[in-house]
């Protein structure tokens, strides 16, 4: 039996093992919290919040929630993580932190330094192995497991800060791929080390003919740019003309749906799609079966809490209110939006990650990501989420038979009232922006009752600008975010939106 066959067989056994573990989400989470508290009880953070005493409590979960303060990035970094970054050990997690993930999310803010401990790196690899173990559920051809996988991410050349290294999480992962994946991994560690995104993409294109790729993985926008560059390099119409065994696409970082139509035009046939949810703070969830939503990883170094995303818990700017009361997985309800709080084996504690999720199956702990706590529009009470916006854009795509992979929106003044200004990114010939605005408006009125009410009062019709897709990616380059991991902000507010509009104006003048 070949090494590859053994790997597949062991993967199937692992899958069957986890499927047999009919352990409830609540029990898995209590066990995870106990592990986190024990590992961190001797740290400065653990001593401040009396972790040894919490562990002796009859209900340590309840004691933890009553004792440990809620944190955002600023409070964690300013009081704790800056000490880790300076080289101090045993601050919020046992030992020294050797890696920091650089993350600015989609907010346009300066880079954040998120600790990535050795324990977290092991959990990231475990999560990847669990994903692989689910592949047999997708009824893939037998030779899928003998082909190569192209993973598009950030450079694996990390910043050397003396006592630690910093880089995007995908680059940290690429710097030391799991042993079991190295045989399949492309573009390979040497190409992955090229720092410049455009240079790295060109070298990938030059080497693409040597590979037999069965799986593509990455953030949708950067993956599509890479594929387009490969097709242009070889003057091909379809990626399947180069890689006839290409079967699977794995995406994360942002919803694949806005990209699906334009991406599938680059193929001869649709691919099996598997969605993942990995953040700089950890591996949160992945799709473990066909035609389902992502399943939370409940026993992989992260304890989850959920803050109802409503006016009682968040103010109009998306800031957590002081009296917010997070819930455990036992207390959540399906169909309701929650902001995620994480406590992790990287030393994040009751940490507001900024993402908003909705449970679609509580028993299986399956979720969808519906937006960000600060990426929504409510300038006059319309409470418009990124999920609403994305669904409206998908409807416009279908009605006009076009691809709209990128968009961004902001609230603006319209006389004495307000309006939403949309920038629609497409390479398809849409000339009637008034029609696009009308279709968006109709869909949003159907999706969101608050939006429909405000459209009859203070909110004017949408203002739509249509721009080439290249504007969005050139904007990323100018912002220093052409890295294979960063995402286009679906909602821009204040100075970032002013900068974006100035950029668009300059692009139009030069072209």
Instruction: Domain of residue 119: give its range.
Output: 1-374
pLDDT at 107: 39
pLDDT at 20: 47
pLDDT at 5: 47
Q: How far apart are CA 325 and CA 308, in angstroms?
A: 8
Q: Are 310 and 158 within 8 A, CB to CB?
A: no
Strand 294-296 and strand 282-286: the pairing is antiparallel
pLDDT at 415: 87
pLDDT at 104: 61
Q: Are 397 and 403 within 8 A, CB to CB?
A: yes
**Domain end call among 349, 374, 399:** 374
Same domain, 244 and 365: yes
Q: Could you report the per-residue pLDDT of 407-460, keeping only the tens digit for each?
A: 999 999 998 899 999 999 999 887 689 999 999 999 999 999 989 999 988 899
Same domain, 173 and 303: yes
- The total number of structural domains in the chain stands at 2
Same domain, 424 and 304: no
Same domain, 440 and 356: no
**Domain end call among 352, 374, 396:** 374
For 185, the token pair is: 């991994």
Same domain, 453 and 466: yes
pLDDT at 13: 54
Q: Could you report the per-residue pLDDT of 251-272, keeping only the tens digit for each?
A: 998 889 999 999 999 999 999 9
Same domain, 365 and 312: yes
Same domain, 25 and 51: yes
Same domain, 338 and 480: no
Q: Tell me the pTM.
A: 0.89
Same domain, 390 and 332: no
pLDDT at 1: 39
Token pair 């910093």: residue: 166
Burial 124-135 (b: 16+ CB within 10 A, else e): bbbbbebbbbbb
3-state secondary structure labels for all residues of 339-380: EEEEEECCCCCCEEEEEEEEEEECCCCEEEEEEECCEEECCC
Burial 65-88 (b: 16+ CB within 10 A, else e): bebbebbebeebbebbbebbbeee
DSSP state of 291: T
3-state secondary structure labels for all residues of 427-491: CCCCCCHHHHHHHHHHHHHHHCHHHHHHHCCCECCCEEEEECHHHHHHHHHHCCCCCCCCCCCCE
Same domain, 386 and 497: yes
Low-confidence residues of the chain, pLDDT below 70? 1-22, 104-110, 431
**Domain end call among 344, 374, 404:** 374
Same domain, 181 and 70: yes
């Amino acid at each position: 039996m070949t090494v590859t066959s053994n790997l597949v067989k062991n993967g199937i056994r692992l899958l069957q093992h986890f499927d047999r573990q009919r352990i409830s989400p609540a029990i898995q989470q209590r066990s995870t919290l106990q592990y986190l508290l024990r590992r961190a009880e001797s740290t400065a953070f653990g001593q401040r919040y009396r972790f040894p005493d919490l562990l002796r409590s009859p209900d340590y979960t309840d004691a933890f929630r009553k004792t440990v303060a809620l944190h955002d990035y600023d409070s964690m970094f300013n009081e704790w993580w800056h000490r880790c970054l300076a080289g101090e050990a045993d601050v919020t997690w046992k030992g020294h932190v050797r890696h920091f993930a650089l993350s600015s999310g989609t907010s346009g803010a300066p880079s954040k330094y998120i600790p990535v401990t050795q324990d977290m790196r092991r959990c990231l690899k475990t999560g990847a192995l669990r994903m692989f173990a689910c592949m047999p559920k997708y009824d893939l051809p037998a030779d899928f497991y003998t082909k190569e996988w192209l993973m598009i991410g950030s450079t694996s050349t990390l910043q050397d800060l003396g006592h630690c290294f910093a880089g995007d999480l995908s680059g940290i992962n690429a710097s030391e791929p799991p042993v079991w994946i190295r045989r399949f991994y492309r573009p390979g560690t040497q190409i992955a080390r090229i720092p410049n995104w455009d240079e790295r993409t060109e070298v990938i294109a030059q080497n693409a003919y040597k590979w037999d790729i069965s799986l593509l993985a990455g953030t949708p926008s950067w993956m599509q740019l890479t594929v387009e560059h490969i097709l242009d390099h070889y003057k091909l119409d379809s990626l399947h003309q180069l890689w006839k065994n290409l079967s699977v696409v794995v995406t994360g970082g942002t919803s694949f749906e806005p990209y699906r139509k334009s991406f599938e035009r680059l193929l001869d046939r649709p691919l099996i799609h598997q969605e993942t949810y990995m953040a700089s703070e950890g591996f949160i969830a992945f799709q473990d079966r066909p035609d389902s939503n992502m399943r939370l990883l409940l026993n992989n170094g992260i304890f989850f809490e959920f803050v109802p995303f409503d006016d009682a818990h968040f103010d109009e700017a998306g800031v957590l209110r002081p009296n917010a009361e997070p819930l455990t997985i036992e207390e959540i309800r399906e169909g309701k939006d929650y902001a995620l709080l994480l406590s992790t084996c990287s030393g994040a504690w009751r940490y507001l990650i900024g993402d908003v999720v909705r449970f679609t199956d509580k028993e299986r702990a399956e979720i969808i990501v519906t937006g960000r706590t600060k990426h929504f529009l409510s300038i006059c009470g319309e409470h418009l989420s990124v999920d609403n916006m994305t669904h409206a854009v998908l409807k416009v795509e279908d009605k006009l038979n076009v691809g709209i992979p990128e968009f961004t929106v902001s609230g603006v003044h319209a006389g004495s009232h307000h309006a939403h200004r949309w920038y629609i990114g497409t390479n398809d010939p849409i000339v009637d922006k008034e029609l696009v605005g009308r279709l968006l408006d109709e869909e949003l009125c159907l999706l969101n009752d608050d939006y429909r009410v405000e459209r009859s009062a203070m909110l004017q019709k949408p203002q739509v600008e249509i721009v080439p897709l290249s504007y969005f990616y050139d904007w990323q380059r100018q912002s220093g975010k052409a890295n294979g991991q960063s995402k286009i902000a679906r909602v821009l507010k204040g100075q970032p939106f002013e900068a974006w509009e100035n950029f668009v104006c300059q692009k139009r003048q030069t072209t």
